[in-house]
Amino acid sequence: MHIPDGFLSTPVWAALDVLAAPAVGLAVRKTRREFDEGRIPLLGVLGAFVFAAQMINFPVGVGTSGHLVGGALLAYVLGWPAASVVMTAILAIQALVFQDGGILALGANVTNMAIVGVLVGYLPFQLWGGGGATARKIAIFAGGFASVLVSALLALVQLALSGVPMPAPIAGISVGLFVVSALLEGAITLAVVQAIETINPGFVRTAGGSHRRGATIVLATAVFLAAVGVIFASAHPDGLEQLAIKTGISQRATNLFATPFSDYEAGFLQSAWLRKAAAGLAGLALVCGACIGFGRVVARKRSA
């Protein structure tokens, strides 16, 4: 669902860049006021896990793949303001280092996934998550489902506003693929939350207590996904890429500059597996470091 540069018209991407900046600023301010300093390591751990999970594409249809977006999962563990900041950091590193999503289109991707996607994903959990076990499971699933579907529909609207031709049959197929991806997002999000809380009860949205065990498991899983899981990831295009192919705009994608980790591969290495694993592990380190660094800066400013 990462929109590359070249897909959106200048008025659309510029307007979204302008809108995204204050929205992220608000999330930063709320994080500074509300986030418990003892949970700062979780910013890096969860950011690393979501980054690694986004590298693992799985089939969602014939010739099409999808991946966990993770906005709702971040919101459940960190709260929506911190989740928005972490997702913004992930998207920025993906665009700047891995050329996944455009630099000019970063505002659109942040709006879709880090702002609206996170808020929509968090809403069912906020409303129903405090109920019984069944209501909580439904809320977790619904949040994951809604976060992806709304983000995808926003991307479609932005492409339509940019003048991308979208015949009804192609739009219908795209929406269908996004619904499948959203259903899988909900199911995976629920499975991950349940697995973590089985290992570390109270891990999700608990300000006090120790999170070391759960955090260690999540970080180890992220390293495994980045170093080994990438071997088994689907090579098929995701729903947005498939839409671009069908509408004939895929050739519009542009990169403002080259990086050594383009397409999540360390191009300077010979082995295909090492290229992917090295890029994945580098991304984990960058995301984890950026998120923890942000948390420490926020903590210092709060203390001052």
**Tally of residues, the chain:** 304
Phi first, then psi: give them for residue 59, nearest 5 degrees: -65, 135
Check whether 101 has a pLDDT greater than 90: yes
Whose CA is closest to 276, among 285, 284, 267?
267
Centre a 10 Å sphere on the Cβ of residue 206 and count the other Cβ atoms it contains: 15
Q: What is the pTM of this model?
A: 0.95
Residue ranges per domain, the chain?
A: 10-303
pLDDT at res. 36: 80
> Residue 106: pLDDT band by 50, 70, 90 thresholds?
very high
Check whether 207 has a pLDDT greater than 80: no
Distance CA(82)–CA(103), nearest Å, equals: 22
From residue 5, give the alpha-carbon distance in Å to each of 95, 106, 151, 251.
Answer: 10, 9, 17, 11
- Per-residue model confidence as pLDDT tens digits over 7-27: 999 999 999 999 999 999 999
Check whether 129 has a pLDDT greater than 90: no
Report which secondary-structure segment, H or E, holds 132. Answer: none
> Residue 197: pLDDT band by 50, 70, 90 thresholds?
confident
> Residue 192: pLDDT band by 50, 70, 90 thresholds?
very high
Assign a CATH topology to domain 10-303. Arp2/3 complex 21 kDa subunit ARPC3 (1.10.1760)
Distance CA(85)–CA(43), nearest Å, equals: 9
- Per-residue model confidence as pLDDT tens digits over 48-75: 999 999 999 998 877 899 999 999 999 9
CA dihedral 95, 66, 235, 159 (to 10 degrees): -50
Residue type, 32: R
Distance CA(257)–CA(181), nearest Å, equals: 31
Phi first, then psi: give them for residue 83, nearest 5 degrees: -60, -40
pLDDT at res. 206: 53
Indicate the DSSP class of residue 256. S
Check whether 298 has a pLDDT greater than 60: yes
Distance CA(262)–CA(107), nearest Å, equals: 20
